[in-house]
Structure 1
């Protein structure tokens, strides 16, 4: 299957993934903001627990970036929606992400590539970062203590957002894990916030906007 070109308007499409088709949704920047030379790939939470590219945290993260002039690419990991294949505990899912990243870089060679991941998606994007080499990474509720984070190499521009009342990812495990790393990062601790940011999605938008705005190639006020 020949991959499509990067669309000129927001739309869904199908890419040729490592084990078959991958569902993809491309959303261009909001029409009333200056376009940034950045494309961000946003990775969804655990496939076996109902995680998809339509998850509300994933879509809020994408919308936050679109408000800043960034194009976003959401996609379903293998076994989710119409994406082919079987759940592979984050290993094959890294290959899916790498395939999407390669397509973005081919189609948008002048753009910076950013990665964003929520929960399991944070794990996959962190594990793939050494090979993908994104210019920036946003990790929302990275599941430290639940998955093996050995050997990660995040970029210098790395934002971590963690709810302090997360009932799925142990917040202290995340904080302790970050303390063991030499990698520079910015941690945003969100009080009274559960794993899925119930009633806190607007606060999440603000945390993302404030955290990444200074990384944009074309500065915004």
Structure 2
């Protein structure tokens, strides 16, 4: 089945995904602000209620859209209208590859950024070496517990931002900092004081941090 065309207006659609229909939301920037950039944003753990409508995910996408990016959010398999069942990160990487393939076929001249929150950052980072994005954004990467193996992740040599709350009650913030310290090439790191995993009362600060850190990245500079 051929994939649907990339929309000219903001809205939702279904792709032909590896496990069946894959629910996707595309949001366009203001026409006079549009840059040649598409950012694909991955959501947190589906088994804990994570969806593409999560408030951190939508704020992350909004922050980039206000800088001129077209943003693409999608529900992993088994979430919302996406078919299939939770696959512990493996099948979810296939879902991400499907979305990226569709974006690149439709917007071949645009830069591609990958972003993710919590489990979504694990999926996007795990797939990054194969997908070779132009930039990466990781919010609260779950390097501690839950069984996500970050030790084998290979990060492409592209601009990379990590944002972590110091008061995260789900991800051990110190484990994130220790992981970054051990990396041969370190990301831009923003530590947000008194900030919980879901950025309660800190969403506007999150938006500001993202925009401040990435505004010099191509094609925004």
State TM-score, norm by structure 1: 0.96
* Partners of 1:202 and 1:34 in 2: CA distance: 20
Counterpart in 2 of 1:12? 12
CA distance in 2, matches of 1:73, 1:164: 28
Is contact 2:52-2:75 (8 Å) kept?
Answer: yes
Asked if the contact 2:67/2:220 (under 8 Å) is kept, the reply is no
Structure 1 unaligned spans of 5+:
none
Matches within 5 A, 1:97-108: 97-108=96-107
Equivalent of residue 190 in structure 1, options 179, 189, 192? 192
Q: Give the equivalent residue in structure 1 for 2:25.
A: 25
CA RMSD of aligned residues (A): 0.9
**1:179 equivalent in structure 2:** 181
Aligned twin of 1:91: 90
Q: In the alignment, which residue of structure 2 is the partner of 1:136? A: 135
Q: Deviations over 1:68-92 (max 9, x none)?
A: 0000000000010110111000000
Question: How many residues of Structure 1 are paired with residues of Structure 2 in the alignment?
Answer: 218
Which 4+ residue blocks in structure 1 deviate beyond 3 angstroms? none
Is the Cα–Cα contact under 8 Å of residues 23 and 76 in structure 1 kept in the other structure? Answer: yes
Q: Which runs of 5+ in 2 are unaligned?
A: none
Is the partner of 1:159 in helix, strand or coil? strand
Q: Is the 8 A contact 1:157 1:184 kept in 2?
A: no
Deviation at 1:145, TM superposition (A): 1.7
**1: distance between equivalents of 2:33 and 2:86?**
38
Name the counterpart of 1:35. 34
Give the 3-state SS of the residue equivalent to 2:22 in structure 1. strand
Give yes or no for contact 1:137–1:154 (8 Å, CA) kept in 2. Answer: no
- Residue 194 of structure 1 aligns to a residue whose secondary structure is coil
What's the offset of the Cα at 1:35? 1.2
Matches within 5 A, 1:192-207: 192-207=194-209
Written as runs of structure 1 = structure 2, the 5 A alignment for 1:111-190 is 111-146=110-145, 147-155=148-156, 156-190=158-192
